[in-house]
Amino acid sequence: MLWSKLTLIAGISVVRSASTSRLYLQNEGQQVLGEVVRTESESIEFNCDLPPILDPSNDGLPSADKLFSGKDALMKQVERHGTLVRVPSISYDDNGEPGEDPRWDVFFELHATLAALYPSVHARMSRETVNTFGLLYTIKGQDASLKPFMLTAHQDVVPVADASTWKYPPFSGHFDGRWLWGRGASDDKNSLTALMSALEALLLNPLWVPKRTIIVALGFDEECSGQRGAGTIGKYLEEIYGKDSMSIILDEGGMGLDLLEGDTLYALPAVMEKGHVDIWLDLSVNGGHSSTPFPHTGIGIMSEIVVKIESNPYEPKLIKGSPIYNHLVCQARYSPESAPQITKLINKGDLEALAEELVTIDRATQYRLQTSQAVDYFNGGVKINAMPEKIRIGINHRIAPQNSIPEIKSKILDEIKPIVKKYGLTVQAFQGEEQNPEFDAEEFKPAYEVDYNGTLVLTSSQRTLVAPISPTSGQVWDIFSGTIQHSFAFPDGKVVPVGELMTGNTDTRHYLSLSPNVYRWTPTRKGGNQNPHTVDEAMDMHAHIEALKFYYNLIRNFDVSSA
């Protein structure tokens, strides 16, 4: 029940969204869900009513159960998925540009593998390459008035630290009868295989021509921010189709499916993402022989900064109307006994006490409620008998909607101020950058000459604003929700789709201008995959088949709709 005791959002100042009844706060370009007084038209309480179940069977095509049930269908997916997993399509943080860094060349092999596995897709959909390795598949619909339907996944996987620690070799694609093992088996070749397989099943039928244009966008560097892949694909699509041109964008992510009390299955797509900024601090100080050291070396000074920052975490906050709040409303309605204390606090409306309760559950829940800060990089020193002259630390932030990039920068500056004064350091803070806080540079000038002669330079990277919240009502959501309810229906049970928040970022950060209806959801049950990004990553292939059935149904339902 960890996922069921959900997460986040918050506020700072006032703009009305034309497409929804939400109020937003503007903070240096970031839209933040605001805790403000609502008008009468905005006072409707969220109570988790569900749209109708949507069965695509009226289109006359074979059902998902008929096509994808049984041992033969399972083994076909094992073959496809294992073949893709065996291609080591790794993206590294220090990759150079495509065409310059030969480590990208393995993606040529992946592209050839996709063409061999999915002949109907490659025969009937146009395939374009964007920035060499980004893939864009398109099949034109019969009705040009309908906005395209956009599906996305990414081709790349994270590196393997030590292959000898794996149960099976990380690029073996080994299948043990249930689990398919390998790097990328879950993240994100599971989505890639299932999406392409659903389209292959549809396009294998020569009589099926979609009414709506279908676009499949496959980035190749999502694991290192997506700038080269989805970043260029997004700009390319905007040039062709324009802003707000897609009916829906579905990518990986979310919190999958979680069964509570044995009879309620919660589907938890992410309808927003936290923001992101990395703060880098580079200290230059006088060195010297370690036999006559300063009272503190540069590493000692930077260690004080790290301790100060880690000792002052951000505060968790829960706001009415946020995705996590709405998730909890659904849980209190349909599974009240799964977490009685949470149900009690939701019904009472005590959000402060509820936030305090939620952060005790686990770190995943805590950080859906608050901005995270992690000192992940610390580098300094070149020799054991020489005081270090250059020291660098990096702090990764995933920004909750109640906070902003300028606020992150300002908090860092406030916290280092006494340490800067203590050691007489000169500070150069975020020079030439956007989204900066106001600060008094005079406060950071050393009062006198000191032996340290230190300069501390602050910069930021990977600046990503908190994503806007995608709608959880209206025609597009109703099709999405209705398809989920149909695809995962079970006897005497209820399927409840409700939006959630994602603590990480996906390639959708580069597609936000293309549609307000952006959903991040890998349709996998809790326990259906294991160990993404670490040793012994694996995918339950029965869960993979469920995902395939869902994608097949969703494409069909959207194709016959007018959304």
* Count of beta carbons in the 10 Å neighbourhood of residue 109: 13
**CB-CB contact of 548 with 68 (8 Å):** yes
How far from 220 is each of 132, 152, 270, 357, 427, CA to CA, in Å? 10, 11, 22, 40, 38
Residues 342 and 5: their CA atoms lie apart, in Å, by: 7
* Calpha distance 186→156 (Å, rounded): 12
Question: What is the reported pLDDT for 38?
Answer: 40
- Confidence (pLDDT) at 445: 60
Q: Which residue has the tokens 């993240």?
A: 187
Task: Identify whether 156 is a catalytic site residue.
Answer: yes
Q: Is the dihedral of CA 259, 260, 264, 268 positive or negative?
A: negative
Quick check: 251 and 510 in contact, CB under 8 A? no
pLDDT for the residue numbered 21 = 32
* Terminal CA-CA length for the chain: 34
- So what's the pLDDT on residue 141? 97
Helix 71-85 vs helix 541-559: angle between axes, to the nearest 10 degrees? 100
pTM given for the model: 0.89
> Is residue 21 within 8 Å of 45, Cβ to Cβ?
no
Give CA separation, 134 vs 14, 189, 331, in Å.
38, 15, 40
Contact 411, 395 (CB under 8 A): no
Q: What is the signed CA dihedral for 120, 126, 129, 130, rounded to 10 degrees?
A: -130
Taking the C-alpha atoms of 22, 26, 27 and 29 in order, what is their torsion angle to the nearest 10 degrees?
100
Per DSSP bridges, beta strands 126-130 and 134-139 are: antiparallel
Q: Which pLDDT score is estimated for 441?
A: 60
Exposure of 256 in the CB half-sphere (CA atoms within 13 A): 21
Bridge partners for 25 per DSSP: 32
pLDDT the model gives residue 437: 83
Supply the pLDDT for residue 451.
63
Cα-Cα-Cα-Cα dihedral sign, residues 59, 61, 62, 64: negative
Q: How far from 177 is each of 153, 167, 539, CA to CA, in Å?
A: 26, 15, 11
pLDDT along the chain (563 residues), means of 10: 31 33 40 44 75 96 97 98 98 96 98 98 98 98 97 98 97 98 98 98 96 98 96 98 98 97 97 97 95 93 98 95 96 96 96 95 94 97 96 97 96 95 92 83 55 86 94 97 98 97 96 98 97 97 98 97 91
Distance, in Å, from the CA atom of 118 to the CA atom of 80, rounded to the nearest integer, reads 9
Residue 492 annotated among the catalytic residues of the structure: no
Domains and CATH numbers, the chain: 64-272+467-560 (3.40.630.10), 273-464 (3.30.70.360)
Closest CA to 387 of 469, 451, 478, 319: 451
Residue 26's closest CA among 11, 39, 8? 11
**Residues in binding site:** 154, 187, 223, 251, 533
Tell the burial category of 51 from Cβ atoms under 10 Å away from its Cβ (0-12, 13-18, 19+).
Answer: middle
d(CA 108, CA 152): 19
CB 184 within 8 A of CB 249: no
Residue-level pLDDT at 149: 97
Residue 57's CB is within 10 A of a number of other CB atoms, namely: 12
Note the residue count of the chain. 563
The reported pLDDT for the residue numbered 213 is: 98
- Residue 444 has which token pair? 């950071």
Distance of alpha carbon 33 from alpha carbon 53, whole angstroms: 30
Among 325, 331, 312, 446, residue whose Cα is nearest residue 371: 312
C-beta separation of 266 from 387 below 8 A = no
Catalytic residue among 188, 222, 357, 537: 222
Please give the distance of CA 455 from its chain centroid, rounded to a whole number: 36
Tokens of 466: 């908190």
Cα distance between residue 21 and residue 19, in whole Å:
7
The reported pLDDT for the residue numbered 299 is 97
pLDDT at 45: 85
Q: Which residues are annotated as a binding site for Zn(2+)?
A: 154, 187, 223, 251, 533
